[in-house]
Amino acid sequence: MTGLFISELERTFKRKKTAAVLAVYVGLLAFSWFIFFQRGGISFFDAAHDVKIDSLNSAPLFLRDLSFVITFIVIPMFVADSFNGEYTSGALRMVLIRPHQRVKLFFVKWAVQCLLVFLILCITWVWGTCLGKIAMPHVNETTFLGGHTLGTLGALMYSLKFYGICFCIFIAVISIGSILSVLMPNSILSYISTIGALIGSVYVSDKLSFFFSVTDSVFHELSKSNSEFLVNLLFPILIISLIINLFVWKKKEWVG
């Protein structure tokens, strides 16, 4: 299992698309810093609630500006390249002709994609936090959506919880994208179908709008005193998508 994981990591980071997407994202990190100043230090919880950026709330607000890129560009491209690109190029056949269980290979590929997104979020959190500490007004407490006024420790815990929920949503996006990538005949259609599914989810149910506007939804969830969003909706989606993934992965004719 460890050998498979290391092998998948090596193949992932050797792809030109991976390097290109990561380079573009790093560029967007720097550009977002510039946008923060261009807006006069003002950001938004959602379209109806603006907020002054300070040293304690900068990390969640920084992710708000980049979450769309992660959801609709970074994840779909990574997943399509990993789950579909290797199959259509024939590279996956070289892995599957060895005595590896398909289920293990799926979970390795899925885990590597989750790790990539986790690293991207860690970099974003560090970058956003440093931006707040260095360039934004220093405050001892800040107020988030819903009127929650928090001190330094409370704001830190809010930030970590915010990023944690976003990460869970991104995992769901990875799981949905992996299903479509296995079913589609090429990487381009895999990418387009994943984006289509995310946008289409808004028309299926308003409760699925978190796929389209990730951070706005998380701000609203954290503004509630008792939210069961993860338990009642997100976790079931994760479980169902993983079950479908395993079924499709086992039935797919990979080497024929």
**What's the pLDDT tens digit per position in 56-67?**
999 999 899 899
According to DSSP, the residues that pair with 43 across neighbouring strands are 51
Q: Sort 20 into a burial class: Cβ within 10 Å, 0-12 / 13-18 / 19+.
A: exposed
* Cβ burial 68-104 (10 Å sphere, 16+ → b, else e): ebbbbbbbbbbbbbbbbbbbeeeebeebeeeeeeeee
Cα end-to-end distance, the chain, whole Å: 24
The SS3 call for residue 15 is: coil
Beta strands (DSSP E) in the chain are 42-46, 49-52, 141-144, 148-151
Residue 181: both structure tokens together: 């990538």
Task: Answer whether 205's CB lies under 8 Å from 223's CB.
Answer: no
According to DSSP, the residues that pair with 143 across neighbouring strands are 149
| Domain boundaries, given as residue ranges, for the chain | 2-251
Nearest CA to 242 among 110, 114, 113, 116? 110
**DSSP annotation string for 37-56:** HHTTSEEEEETTEEEE--TT
**What's the pLDDT tens digit per position in 110-156?**
999 999 999 999 999 999 999 888 888 899 999 998 888 899 999 99
Which contacts (CB < 8 Å, 24+ apart) does range 160-163 have? 161/222, 162/59, 162/60, 162/63, 162/215, 162/218, 162/219, 162/222, 163/59, 163/60, 163/63, 163/121, 163/124, 163/125
Biggest alpha carbon–alpha carbon distance for the chain: 63
**What's the pLDDT tens digit per position in 205-249?**
888 888 888 999 899 888 887 777 777 888 899 999 999 988 887
How confident is the prediction for the chain on average, in pLDDT? 85
pLDDT band for position 96 (50/70/90)? Answer: low
**pLDDT exceeds 70 at position 254:** no
Beta-carbon contacts of residue 162 (< 8 Å; ≥ 6 apart): 59, 60, 63, 215, 218, 219, 222
pLDDT at 93: 56
pLDDT band for position 256 (50/70/90)? Answer: very low
Higher pLDDT, 54 or 255: 54
Task: Answer whether 105's CB lies under 8 Å from 116's CB.
Answer: no
